[in-house]
Amino acid sequence: MAEAPPNECAELDEAILEVNRRIAAPPKSLDQANDPAKLEAQLRDCVEQHRILLRELEAELELEKKNCEDHKESLQELHQIAQALITPPQRSVSDADASTLLRMIVTITEAAFTDKELCVQLRFLLEHLLNAIWDTPSHPYVSTKGYDPAVLAFVQRAGLTEAHPSDADIVRLVAFHEPMPDPFTMRPTLYK
C-alpha cells in the first residue's frame, strides 16, 4: 500500500478535527429549545390542546353512554317481545271454568222453554253454530232444517243469529265481539 502525500494527510487530519468539533458542539436547535419562555409557551399550547381534546372526548363519552343506555332499553324491549312471542299466552278459562260455563249454558237454555225437547234443540243449534264458526269461518252458516220453528224464532228474537242474505234456510251466529256502532242499528257481523 502506498503512503499518502503529506499535504493530503494534513487535509484528512484537518477534516477529522472539524468533524470532531461539530460532534462535540451542541446543535443550534437544542440551544433554542432551552429557551425557558419558548418552552413555557409550547407547554401551555400542549396543555390547552389536551384540555380541548379532553372536553371533546368527554362529550363523545356521554353521547356513547346515552346511546348505550338507549340500545340496552331497546334490547330489553325486544327481549320481552320475543319472550311474549315464544311463551304461549295464559288461558283465562281453565277446564273447571269451562265446565262451569257449560253448566250455565245448560241452565240458561233450560229456562228458555218449558219443553225439554226444545231446550235440547236450542243447545244443538248453538253448538252447530259455534262449530261452524270454528270449522269454516269463511262460510259459518248452518241449515235450519230439522229445528223447531219456536227455537229458530227464539234465537232470531234474541239477536243470536242472522239469516243468509240469499237463503233464508241457513243462519249464522252474530259476531258479538265486534263493537256496535250505534245501539239503534243491527249488530255488525264479522263474516260478511
Q: How many CB atoms lie within 10 A of CB 123?
A: 18
160 in Cβ contact with 147 (< 8 Å): no
Examine residue 80 and state whether it is found in any structural domain, yes or no.
no
Q: How many CB atoms lie within 10 A of CB 17?
A: 10
Examine residue 182 and state whether it is found in any structural domain, yes or no.
yes
Give the count of domains, the chain.
1
- Rounded-to-integer distance, Cα 45 and Cα 187, Å: 82
Examine residue 54 and state whether it is found in any structural domain, yes or no.
no
- Rounded-to-integer distance, Cα 70 and Cα 83, Å: 20
Examine residue 129 and state whether it is found in any structural domain, yes or no.
yes
Tens digits of pLDDT across the chain (192 residues): 567 677 888 888 898 888 888 887 766 665 555 678 888 888 899 999 999 999 999 999 999 999 999 999 999 999 998 888 888 766 665 556 667 877 887 888 888 888 889 988 998 898 888 888 888 888 889 999 999 999 999 988 888 888 888 988 899 988 765 555 555 555 544 444
Domain of 176, in residue numbers: 115-192
Report the amino acid identity of residue 106: V
Distances (CA, A) of 144 to 105, 172, 192: 20, 10, 19
Phi, psi of 136 (to 5 degrees): -135, 80
- The DSSP element (H or E) to which 114 belongs, if any, is none
Would you state the pLDDT for residue 35? 78
> Is the pTM of the predicted complex or chain greater than 0.85?
no
- Rounded-to-integer distance, Cα 127 and Cα 145, Å: 15
β-pairing, 142-143 with 170-173? Answer: antiparallel
84 grid coordinates: 311474549
Would you state the pLDDT for residue 55? 94
Would you state the pLDDT for residue 44? 93
- Rounded-to-integer distance, Cα 160 and Cα 154, Å: 9
